[in-house]
Amino acid sequence: MKILIAAESYYPNADGASYAAHRLAKSLKEKGHTIMVVAPSKSLHTGYEKREGVSVFGVRSYPILVSKGFRFSPPIFIKRSIEKAVRDFRPDVVHIQSHFFICEQVFRAAKKMKIPVVGTNHFMPENLIHYFPVPRSWKKTIKDSAWRKFASVYEKLDIVTTPTVTAAKLAKGIGLNKKIIPVSNGIDLERFNPQNDGEYLREKYALGHDPIFLYVGRLDKEKNIDKIIRALKLIPGNIDLKFAVAGKGAEKNKLKRLAEKLGLEKKVVFLGFVPDKDLPNLYPLATCFIIAGIAELQSIVTMEAMASGLPILAANAVALPELVHSGENGFLFETGDLKQIADSIVKIITDPTLQKRMSQKSLEMIKEHDETKVVSRFESFYAELAEKNERNNQEA
């Protein structure tokens, strides 16, 4: 089957939507499908390239100044090149990953050519809105407008999916009058597992042998990493630990200054971007994974941590409670409650029996997110739509 995937963020970008699209494209290719991705190029030029063995049509793009490494393709000048790329590839089905500029143009081109379209939503305005240099009173207006734009595109799709039940309810709540099917982003359970050996990373990142609480992901405002750092100040001084922060983002320098200001520079270790080859080996070094984000429609890094056998400490926000059942495979905390965060860390770090029980529960729970099941689910959607489309064309 010929499948076109459209994404506003794609490998090597380090964000959940990028990883989800990239892993889906690679998995489908490995199963014998012919795949093309349409995504922002790495320059002002438009053209074809290979990324990790997947054919990518890179659309002319510009850097996003507030988010290092990310690029966007404004609607002007991209319509014709996208339409030509879709026509030349002539997919059996299109799968868009958002409603923004590239994805919307791919959707319009597909509809023009009577090609069925699946859409998965990874979008929450909270992931972007804090970077808009506008008064606070305007931000609700921008947020509402963004949701309306999302609904105007997705209500016209043939199949709509979201990564979680929570994300589906959220889309329904903003007025999307469409059946929404929850389908996990999935996780590679062979690549991420507790047997991975990351001992060599202790020296590389100066982690030492204290218990490690790990965060992996973007260092951006909605991730609330500053709350975790502030909570560390409330932990008794006789408890040794390291908070390892893996990733890059706009808040990195602020977070470093905060750790220094609080006298925690020896406890908080900034690893920077951890290469893909090292990432699966990093998780098993940790005692626990911690995430305080308030805009997670699922959280691929949390699933990676669960697949690596880690207990999870997570914010009681959006879809994280679907992955973290408090008291079973970890604890949930209110993001602004620094004492609750600190107390949860102490509970985990001082109770090896609790760690082991929660670790086993994470491994049990993550099985339902096996990437092979997810890819098979999408394959069934594609086949259903392609078959229906072929019948309609024959009858026309």
Sign for the pseudo-dihedral over CA of 14, 19, 22, 26: positive
Cis previous bond, 321, omega within 30:
no
Q: Are 39 and 59 a contacting pair, CB within 8 Å?
A: yes
> In the chain, what percentage of residues exceed pLDDT 70?
94
pLDDT per residue as tens digits for the range 92-129: 999 999 998 999 999 999 999 999 999 999 877 655 55
User: What pLDDT does 394 receive?
Assistant: 75
The pLDDT of residue 365 is above 80: yes
User: CA separation (Å) from 386 to 2, 82, 117?
Assistant: 10, 21, 10
User: What pLDDT does 15 receive?
Assistant: 82
What average pLDDT does the chain have?
Answer: 92
Which domains does the chain show, CATH number per domain?
A: 2-186+370-395 (3.40.50.2000), 200-369 (3.40.50.2000)
The values of phi and psi at residue 175, to 5°, are: 100, 20
Question: Residues of 86-96 as b/e, b for ≥16 C-beta within 10 angstroms?
Answer: beebebbbbbb
The vertex-5 CA angle with 108 and 24, nearest 5°, equals: 155
Distant-in-sequence contacts of 192-197, Cβ < 8 A, 24+ apart: 192/280, 192/283, 192/304, 192/307, 192/308, 193/280, 193/307, 193/308, 193/309, 194/284, 194/308, 194/309, 194/359, 194/363, 195/284, 196/280, 196/281, 196/283, 196/284, 196/308, 197/281, 197/284
The pLDDT of residue 258 is above 60: yes
pLDDT per residue as tens digits for the range 18-50: 999 999 999 999 999 999 999 999 888 899 999
Q: Are 243 and 215 a contacting pair, CB within 8 Å?
A: yes
| Residue 355 banded pLDDT, cuts 50, 70, 90 | very high
End-to-end CA distance of the chain: 22
Please tell me the pTM assigned to this model.
Answer: 0.91
Q: Are 261 and 226 a contacting pair, CB within 8 Å?
A: no
Mean pLDDT is lowest, of 118-132, 154-168, 277-291, for 118-132
